Amino acid sequence: MQLWTRRKFFVNSLAGSALAGAGQLLGKTPGIAGSEEGTIFRAPANTAAGGVRPVIISSANGLHALDKGMDILKAGGDTLDAAVAAVTVVEDDPNDDSVGYGGLPNEEGVVELDASVMHGPTRRAGSVASVQKIKNVARLAKTVMERTNHVMIVGDGARRFAVAEGFEEQNLLTEHSRKIWLAWKAKTSFNWRPGIDSPEWKDYMTELFDGDAEKIAYAEEKIAHPPTGTINCLAVNAKGEVSGTTTTSGLSWKIPGRVGDSPIIGAGLYVDGDVGGAGSTGKGEENIKIAGGHTIVEMMRKGIKPTDACLEALGRVARNYNGDKKKLGTFHLFFYAVNKDGEYGGASLWKNTYDRPKPAQFAVHDGTEARLELCKPFFDEIGGDE
């Protein structure tokens, strides 16, 4: 089989003919397993394990939660139980304003959560979107998968389903998140600031954050660059079974009801037990348009390594803007993937994270300890979310 090199990837994706590249990859490039046959799907030929099993990976914000998942995998537990247990740690954390409890709210100050799960061994999926008042939406998506005849439940129906299944309702807005939302309101609407006739008139940010410069700077950053916050987690056990989950509070200050890629099976998450799994964080709208999770798994099915498959998906996003870095610089996107051999990878559109100038990373636990590894950047520039 012809080797899939990084150089070839770039030729296909952008530099040569970006538009022709995808076509070549998906059917016409000689030497890629299954490509000549077009429709015949089969497991990658190179099943010689280059990876380690069990292994669990996640977006960088899951670093401190991977121990929990690995303990389950080591004890011979189910891969989806492991992934959901890990992300639940982050959903429960009030200090993490990206997912679950304490997530940054929509434009009306209400936290709305989305999540999905896929279970490789039984080839099942579940998802929920725009859920209010329920903190553990990854577990809720798993409950949809296990206890209904549906795959996706949204909005108030999802909340009521959660209550029926014994989930506790609570206000998910913490003081921290509420104040940042109020600051956003004040910055974007003249009506949400005290008028100059106020006897105590002073700078609204100073007043809101009791003059704490660090908190003001943090809020300013979240307002200038509305964060997307998500955790994607993918687990492979010793037997080579694969599952995954993606959970998020979505794009901060979104229009109520906006749904990103996280609960979309095939975009924010995709698992095929014969191949592996992939997931995403970052601007969901861009991922939905290329069905990133599914795209990556299909690349891996053809023998492409996880990191290169993630880069190819980013290539398609770049192609959607004809490689225009100015437009692409208005957002960020990350992909993560594992194959059933335990090989894994992560790639980012830009070299940095949102919190410039940190390099983009993802978290891995392969049985020894959880650590961060660098994402392979699609563009070498710092860029992103300018």
The dihedral of CA 259, 265, 268, 269: what is its sign?
Answer: positive
* Residue 252 interacting with ligand ASP (CB under 6 A): no
Among 284, 315, 346, 377, binds ligand ASP (CB under 6 A): 284
**Beta-strand relationship, 152-154 and 124-131:** parallel
Q: Please tell me the distance from the alpha carbon of residue 247 to that of residue 65, in angstroms, as a whole number.
A: 14
> Which CB, 54 or 227, lies closer to ligand ASP?
227
* Residue 281 interacting with ligand ASP (CB under 6 A): yes
* Residue 293 interacting with ligand ASP (CB under 6 A): no
Q: Please tell me the distance from the alpha carbon of residue 76 to that of residue 173, in angstroms, as a whole number.
A: 37
* Residue 106 interacting with ligand ASP (CB under 6 A): no
Strand, helix or coil for residue 233 = strand
* Residue 260 interacting with ligand ASP (CB under 6 A): yes
Among 78, 261, 312, 366, binds ligand ASP (CB under 6 A): 261
The distance of closest approach from Cβ of residue 116 to ligand ASP in the complex, given in angstroms and rounded to an integer, is 11
* Residue 353 interacting with ligand ASP (CB under 6 A): no
Give the largest Cα separation in the chain, rounded. 77
Q: Residue 45 CB: number of other CB atoms within 10 A?
A: 11
> Which CB, 250 or 383, lies closer to ligand ASP?
250
Q: Which of 271, 249, 280 is nearest to 346 (CA)?
A: 280
* Residue 348 interacting with ligand ASP (CB under 6 A): no
Q: Please tell me the distance from the alpha carbon of residue 248 to that of residue 333, in angstroms, as a whole number.
A: 14
* Residue 248 interacting with ligand ASP (CB under 6 A): yes
Q: Are 208 and 251 in contact (CB under 8 A)?
A: no
Q: Please tell me the distance from the alpha carbon of residue 203 to that of residue 211, in angstroms, as a whole number.
A: 9
* Residue 292 interacting with ligand ASP (CB under 6 A): no
The distance of closest approach from Cβ of residue 263 to ligand ASP in the complex, given in angstroms and rounded to an integer, is 9
Q: How many residues bind ligand ASP (CB under 6 A)?
A: 13
> Which CB, 106 or 262, lies closer to ligand ASP?
262
* Residue 243 interacting with ligand ASP (CB under 6 A): no
**Residues 299, 304, 307, 313, Cα dihedral to 10°:** -30
Q: Please tell me the distance from the alpha carbon of residue 298 to that of residue 376, in angstroms, as a whole number.
A: 19
- The one catalytic residue in 228, 230, 245, 281 is 230
Q: Are 233 and 69 in contact (CB under 8 A)?
A: yes
Of the listed pieces 120-128, 199-207, 214-222, 246-254, which binds ligand ASP according to CB under 6 A?
A: 246-254
> Which CB, 21 or 284, lies closer to ligand ASP?
284
Alpha carbon distance, N-terminus to C-terminus of the chain: 41
* Residue 251 interacting with ligand ASP (CB under 6 A): yes
Q: Is 248 annotated as catalytic? A: no
* Residue 230 interacting with ligand ASP (CB under 6 A): yes
Binding site for ligand ASP (CB under 6 A): 228-230, 248, 250-251, 260-262, 281-284
* Active site residues per annotation: 230
